[in-house]
Amino acid sequence: MNSHFSMVAPHSKRPVVPDVIFGTGREAQDAEAKYGFEKVINSTLGVLMDDTGQLVFLPTVMERLRDLPDSELGAYAPIAGLPDYLSAVQEACFRGHKPNAFTEAVATPGGTGAIKHAVWNYTEMGDEVLIADWYWAPYKTIAEEHGRRIRTFNYFKGDGMNVEAFKGAASELIAAQERVLIILNTPAHNPTGYSISEGEWEEIMGFLREQAKDAAKKIILMVDVAYIDFAGSIEASRDFFKHFGDLPQNLLVLTAFSLSKGYTMYGMRGGAIICLAATQALALEFKDVCSYSNRAAWSNGTRAAMRILADVYKDPVLFQKVEAEREVFKDLLNARNKAFMEEAEKVGLQVCPFRDGFFITIPCKDPAAVSNALKKENLFAVPLQGGLRFAPCAVSEEKCRIAPAMIKKYV
Ligand SMILES: Cc1ncc(COP(=O)(O)O)c(C=O)c1O
């Protein structure tokens, strides 16, 4: 038989590329087995781990999950999500910083589901979606899966965002397409840890409002807030929402909210897409189309994850416990980030602008070569297109302190 014979429809035929994050992670695990955990810096996975390499979970969230009755564990959820979850998830996202807009939420399996719904429902076949040139790879996967493409802009200039590059790329797309979806992952961006500043938000939104004066255009801004609970105080991490109040009707803001990092329910697949719209009609339209997409893609999300979040936001004692537990994790992460950044400065290792979060990225010319050289020294970090992603979320403070000098040798 012909080994090249294929049954797959043409649009789904793609080159098979191994997942670089999980691939590098596996190599790191092999090295740990061979040389011992202490001898290996496994900085590959984007999940928070303790100093012994074990995933950390919010104890209260896990206890509550284990205590759920069968009816909450095994039953379906409504297609759009449990009603009390849909209120709770908005509270969890905005934390008192909801701007003056009409909001609705639809439950999705993680933030990933929210991104998928935005791409499918708010762009047309063949459209380009605008994202930063440092980006989480699934944005491209999701766009291409749906017959869309990505367009990137240079994210950084000096120690901040290259707002001019953003405006240039956005204007071009707005001129070329009737509708434009822009996805910005902030605060605590993956892979660089950058958070868009107050001044940059002012410029971005001033520009988008100006562009929206052309009533023939439809602009959709999705803010992917997957790491929002690891980006400083509630105030610091949510203040930017104020820029989304009183929007014109042809400028819609969507947020992709995730229960993976902030509530350590990675595998429970909890999240939501939330809209901030100029009119109630637009918000209801959003709810209808995203509910329809839920039905078409996965029917409904994980009820247990929704139940936990809804319960946490109903019970002040439970809420305070979860908050306090997360603070411990934030302190752990901040100490690691600080250690890495201090050493990077000492040894003169240049990193992308960093503010908060799970990752720090080192720009370099040949990331694969740098990554391979470091593997020989038992340091495993993920090669990206323009740099190396180091994940302080996954390694101890001590290892974060020694890594910059090792990396510096090869960049
Ligand atoms: C930038 C970014 N957005 C969204 C997600 C969504 O994750 P999940 O689908 O688990 O909520 C992730 C997870 O790694 C991420 O890094």
Cross-strand pairs, 157: 160
Residue-wise pLDDT for 262-286, tens only, equals: 999 999 999 999 999 999 999 999 9
pLDDT of 187: 98
Give, for 237, the enclosing helix (H) or strand (E): helix 234-238
First to last CA, the chain: 48
> Of 135, 186, 258, which is best to mutate to test ligand 1, by the most ligand atoms within 8 angstroms of its C-beta?
258
Alpha carbon of 375 to ligand 1 centroid (Å): 26
The answer to whether 354 and 194 are in contact (CB under 8 A) is: yes
Locate the ligand 1 atom nearest the alpha carbon of residue 112 and give its number.
Answer: 9
Alpha carbon of 226 to ligand 1 centroid (Å): 6
Residue 16: Cβ-neighbour burial (10 angstroms; 0-12, 13-18, 19+):
exposed
What mean pLDDT do residues 30-56 have? 95
What mean pLDDT do residues 176-190 have? 98
Q: Tokens 């992308």 identify what position?
A: 352
ipTM above 0.95, yes or no: yes
Going by C-beta distance under 8 Å and a sequence separation of 6 or more, which residues neighbour residue 367?
383, 384, 385, 386, 387, 388
Q: Residue 96 and residue 74: Cα distance in Å, rounded? A: 33
Lowest mean pLDDT among 13-17, 50-54, 128-132: 13-17
> Quick one: which of 135, 123, 139, 131 has its CA closest to 176?
123
How many CB atoms lie under 10 A from the CB of residue 362?
25
Residue 410, both tokens? 């090869």
How many CB atoms lie under 10 A from the CB of residue 37?
13
Q: Tokens 């822009």 identify what position?
A: 182
Going by C-beta distance under 8 Å and a sequence separation of 6 or more, which residues neighbour residue 188?
194, 195, 227, 228, 230, 231, 355, 356, 357, 358
Pocket lining: 302 vs ligand 1, CB cutoff 6 Å: no
Pocket lining: 260 vs ligand 1, CB cutoff 6 Å: yes
The answer to whether 411 and 364 are in contact (CB under 8 A) is: yes
Locate the ligand 1 atom nearest the alpha carbon of residue 113 and give its number.
Answer: 9
pLDDT of 124: 98
**Rounded mean pLDDT of the chain?**
97
Residue-wise pLDDT for 126-141, tens only, equals: 999 999 999 999 999 9
> Of 45, 93, 112, which is best to mutate to test ligand 1, by the most ligand atoms within 8 angstroms of its C-beta?
112
Residue-wise pLDDT for 57-98, tens only, equals: 999 999 999 999 999 999 999 999 999 999 999 999 999 999
Residue-wise pLDDT for 282-305, tens only, equals: 999 999 999 999 999 999 999 999
Nearest CA to ligand 1 atom 3: 226
Q: If pLDDT is split at 50, 70 and 90, which confidence band does 4 have?
A: confident
How many CB atoms lie under 10 A from the CB of residue 177?
18
DSSP annotation of 260 reads T
Residue-wise pLDDT for 193-226, tens only, equals: 999 999 999 999 999 999 999 999 999 999 999 9
> Of 131, 134, 261, which is best to mutate to test ligand 1, by the most ligand atoms within 8 angstroms of its C-beta?
261
User: What are the structural domains of the chain?
Assistant: 15-58+319-408 (3.90.1150.10), 76-314 (3.40.640.10)
